[in-house]
Amino acid sequence: MRKHELLSEAEREQLLGIPIDRDDLARLYTLEPHDIDQVRLRREDRNRLGVALQLALFRHLA
């Protein structure tokens, strides 16, 4: 059976790779005040961390 890949290695790196440029890191992973409001709605530390990571990841993928 032949293995099919949805994305090439280069496409996967472009999609999932974390930027190493300081400006890109700051732009993508700094939470805005409205993001922080969403994070603060969660009760548990682990949930707040999860929401913050999801917000940053969604921004990175967009």
Residue at 39 is within a domain: yes
Average pLDDT over residues 7-24: 81
Domain count, the chain: 1
pLDDT of 52 > 80? The answer is yes
- How far from each other are the two terminal CA atoms of the chain, in whole angstroms? 34
Return the higher-pLDDT residue of 44 and 13. Answer: 44
Contacts of 15 (CB under 8 A, 6+ apart): 7, 61
> How far from 34 is each of 31, 46, 47, 53, 60, CA to CA, in Å?
8, 19, 17, 15, 17
Residue 49 belongs to what domain range?
21-61
Residue 46, exposed/middle/buried by CB under 10 A (0-12, 13-18, 19+)? exposed
Residue 10 domain-assigned?
no
Residue 1 has pLDDT above 70, yes or no: no
Q: pTM for the full model?
A: 0.65
pLDDT tens-digit readout, 38-48: 999 999 999 99
Does a structural domain hold residue 54?
yes
